[in-house]
Amino acid sequence: MICQECQVQQATLHFTKIVNGKKTEMHVCEQCAREKGESIPGTDSFSIHHLFSGLFNIDTKNEQYQNVTKDKPTCPTCGTSYDKFLHVGRFGCATCYDTFADKLGSVFRRVHGGNNKHSGKIPKRIGQSIQIEKRIEEIRDELNKHVQNEEFEKAAELRDEIRELKSQADDSRKGG
Protein backbone atom coordinates (compact mmCIF):
# COMPACT_ATOMS: atom_id res chain seq x y z
CA MET A 1 0.00 0.00 0.00
CA ILE A 2 1.30 3.46 -0.92
CA CYS A 3 1.57 6.26 1.68
CA GLN A 4 -1.57 8.42 1.73
CA GLU A 5 0.48 11.58 2.36
CA CYS A 6 3.45 11.53 -0.03
CA GLN A 7 1.99 9.03 -2.52
CA VAL A 8 5.58 7.80 -3.13
CA GLN A 9 6.88 5.54 -0.39
CA GLN A 10 5.42 2.30 0.88
CA ALA A 11 3.04 2.79 3.85
CA THR A 12 4.58 0.97 6.81
CA LEU A 13 2.47 2.45 9.58
CA HIS A 14 -1.27 2.02 9.86
CA PHE A 15 -3.11 4.18 12.39
CA THR A 16 -6.70 3.90 13.48
CA LYS A 17 -7.97 6.85 15.49
CA ILE A 18 -11.35 7.07 17.15
CA VAL A 19 -12.17 10.58 18.27
CA ASN A 20 -15.67 11.36 19.55
CA GLY A 21 -16.93 8.13 18.01
CA LYS A 22 -15.55 8.95 14.55
CA LYS A 23 -13.11 6.38 13.18
CA THR A 24 -10.35 7.44 10.79
CA GLU A 25 -7.61 5.28 9.33
CA MET A 26 -4.25 6.46 8.03
CA HIS A 27 -1.71 4.48 6.06
CA VAL A 28 1.56 6.39 5.95
CA CYS A 29 5.30 5.93 5.63
CA GLU A 30 7.49 6.49 8.68
CA GLN A 31 8.79 9.83 7.38
CA CYS A 32 5.32 11.31 6.81
CA ALA A 33 4.17 10.05 10.23
CA ARG A 34 7.05 11.91 11.89
CA GLU A 35 6.25 15.07 9.92
CA LYS A 36 2.61 14.85 11.02
CA GLY A 37 3.77 14.44 14.62
CA GLU A 38 2.28 10.98 15.13
CA SER A 39 3.86 8.87 17.84
CA ILE A 40 5.46 5.76 16.44
CA PRO A 41 5.57 2.63 18.59
CA GLY A 42 9.12 1.43 19.14
CA THR A 43 10.58 4.95 19.11
CA ASP A 44 11.24 7.33 21.97
CA SER A 45 8.04 9.26 21.26
CA PHE A 46 5.85 6.43 22.61
CA SER A 47 5.70 5.86 26.33
CA ILE A 48 3.78 3.04 27.99
CA HIS A 49 3.55 5.36 31.00
CA HIS A 50 1.41 7.74 28.96
CA LEU A 51 -0.90 4.85 28.07
CA PHE A 52 -1.32 3.77 31.70
CA SER A 53 -1.61 7.25 33.09
CA GLY A 54 -4.47 7.79 30.65
CA LEU A 55 -6.14 4.62 31.91
CA PHE A 56 -5.53 5.46 35.55
CA ASN A 57 -6.50 9.11 34.96
CA ILE A 58 -3.39 10.25 36.83
CA ASP A 59 -3.03 13.91 37.64
CA THR A 60 -0.49 14.32 40.42
CA LYS A 61 -1.94 17.71 41.39
CA ASN A 62 -5.39 16.16 41.76
CA GLU A 63 -6.69 15.97 45.34
CA GLN A 64 -7.90 12.37 44.78
CA TYR A 65 -4.37 11.31 43.74
CA GLN A 66 -2.93 13.00 46.83
CA ASN A 67 -5.38 11.12 49.08
CA VAL A 68 -4.57 7.75 47.50
CA THR A 69 -0.80 8.11 47.77
CA LYS A 70 -0.42 10.00 51.06
CA ASP A 71 -0.14 6.87 53.25
CA LYS A 72 2.61 5.50 50.91
CA PRO A 73 1.90 1.76 51.27
CA THR A 74 4.58 -0.52 49.86
CA CYS A 75 4.58 -4.18 48.91
CA PRO A 76 6.24 -6.27 51.64
CA THR A 77 7.73 -8.66 49.06
CA CYS A 78 9.26 -6.37 46.43
CA GLY A 79 9.05 -2.90 48.01
CA THR A 80 7.05 -1.35 45.16
CA SER A 81 4.97 1.61 46.30
CA TYR A 82 1.55 2.46 44.88
CA ASP A 83 3.05 5.75 43.72
CA LYS A 84 5.71 3.82 41.75
CA PHE A 85 3.03 1.56 40.27
CA LEU A 86 1.14 4.62 39.02
CA HIS A 87 4.33 6.04 37.55
CA VAL A 88 5.70 2.85 35.94
CA GLY A 89 2.38 1.20 35.09
CA ARG A 90 3.17 -2.29 36.37
CA PHE A 91 3.63 -4.13 39.62
CA GLY A 92 6.88 -5.59 40.89
CA CYS A 93 5.45 -8.97 41.94
CA ALA A 94 2.24 -10.95 42.45
CA THR A 95 1.95 -9.84 46.11
CA CYS A 96 1.42 -6.25 44.90
CA TYR A 97 -2.11 -7.22 43.79
CA ASP A 98 -3.01 -8.17 47.36
CA THR A 99 -1.15 -5.23 48.91
CA PHE A 100 -2.94 -2.62 46.75
CA ALA A 101 -6.23 -4.51 46.30
CA ASP A 102 -8.35 -1.79 47.92
CA LYS A 103 -7.04 0.80 45.43
CA LEU A 104 -7.36 -1.29 42.25
CA GLY A 105 -11.14 -1.53 41.87
CA SER A 106 -11.44 1.75 39.97
CA VAL A 107 -8.44 0.87 37.79
CA PHE A 108 -9.89 -2.52 36.82
CA ARG A 109 -13.33 -1.05 36.17
CA ARG A 110 -11.78 1.49 33.80
CA VAL A 111 -9.65 -1.11 31.99
CA HIS A 112 -12.43 -3.72 31.77
CA GLY A 113 -15.28 -1.47 30.69
CA GLY A 114 -16.98 -1.14 34.07
CA ASN A 115 -16.25 -4.65 35.38
CA ASN A 116 -13.87 -5.71 38.14
CA LYS A 117 -13.25 -9.07 36.50
CA HIS A 118 -11.75 -9.77 33.08
CA SER A 119 -13.83 -12.33 31.24
CA GLY A 120 -12.27 -12.16 27.78
CA LYS A 121 -13.65 -13.61 24.60
CA ILE A 122 -14.11 -17.26 23.81
CA PRO A 123 -13.60 -18.56 20.26
CA LYS A 124 -16.88 -19.82 18.81
CA ARG A 125 -15.47 -23.22 17.91
CA ILE A 126 -14.76 -24.07 21.57
CA GLY A 127 -17.10 -21.61 23.25
CA GLN A 128 -20.00 -23.98 23.71
CA SER A 129 -18.01 -26.59 25.63
CA ILE A 130 -16.43 -23.93 27.86
CA GLN A 131 -19.85 -22.45 28.64
CA ILE A 132 -21.14 -25.91 29.50
CA GLU A 133 -18.18 -26.53 31.81
CA LYS A 134 -18.77 -23.20 33.58
CA ARG A 135 -22.44 -24.09 34.03
CA ILE A 136 -21.47 -27.51 35.44
CA GLU A 137 -19.23 -25.79 38.02
CA GLU A 138 -22.09 -23.48 39.03
CA ILE A 139 -24.47 -26.42 39.41
CA ARG A 140 -21.89 -28.40 41.45
CA ASP A 141 -21.63 -25.53 43.91
CA GLU A 142 -25.42 -25.42 44.17
CA LEU A 143 -25.56 -29.22 44.51
CA ASN A 144 -23.07 -29.15 47.42
CA LYS A 145 -25.23 -26.59 49.22
CA HIS A 146 -28.32 -28.78 48.83
CA VAL A 147 -26.46 -31.85 50.08
CA GLN A 148 -25.24 -29.93 53.15
CA ASN A 149 -28.83 -28.82 53.82
CA GLU A 150 -29.97 -32.44 53.33
CA GLU A 151 -32.21 -31.47 50.40
CA PHE A 152 -31.53 -34.70 48.57
CA GLU A 153 -34.37 -34.50 46.04
CA LYS A 154 -33.11 -31.16 44.71
CA ALA A 155 -29.54 -32.51 44.81
CA ALA A 156 -30.61 -35.49 42.69
CA GLU A 157 -32.19 -33.16 40.12
CA LEU A 158 -28.96 -31.16 39.92
CA ARG A 159 -26.92 -34.37 39.63
CA ASP A 160 -29.04 -35.40 36.64
CA GLU A 161 -28.63 -31.96 35.09
CA ILE A 162 -24.84 -32.25 35.46
CA ARG A 163 -24.92 -35.64 33.73
CA GLU A 164 -26.94 -34.17 30.86
CA LEU A 165 -24.56 -31.23 30.49
CA LYS A 166 -21.54 -33.57 30.54
CA SER A 167 -23.17 -35.56 27.75
CA GLN A 168 -23.69 -32.35 25.73
CA ALA A 169 -20.07 -31.33 26.32
CA ASP A 170 -18.83 -34.73 25.10
CA ASP A 171 -21.02 -34.44 22.00
CA SER A 172 -19.74 -30.95 21.19
CA ARG A 173 -16.13 -32.07 21.57
CA LYS A 174 -16.74 -34.99 19.21
CA GLY A 175 -18.32 -32.57 16.73
CA GLY A 176 -21.75 -34.11 16.92
Q: What is the pLDDT of residue 145?
A: 94
No. of H helices and E strands in the chain?
8, 2
Domain boundaries, the chain: 1-46, 50-111, 124-174
Of 161, 67, 51, the C-alpha closest to 110 is: 51
Q: What is the pLDDT of residue 132?
A: 85
Question: What dihedral angle (degrees, nearest 10) is formed by the CA atoms of 42, 43, 49, 54?
Answer: -90
Distances (CA, A) of 166 to 25, 127, 144, 145, 155: 46, 15, 18, 20, 16
Q: What is the pLDDT of residue 162?
A: 93
b/e 120-145 (16+ beta carbons within 10 angstroms → b): eeeeeeeeebeebeeebeebeeebee
Which residues partner with 15 through β-bridges? 26
Is pTM beyond 0.85 here? no
In whole angstroms, what is the distance from residue 154 CA to residue 151 CA? 6
Q: What is the pLDDT of residue 89?
A: 72
Which segments of the chain have a pLDDT < 70? 19, 36-72, 110-120, 122-126, 173, 175-176
Q: What is the pLDDT of residue 143?
A: 94
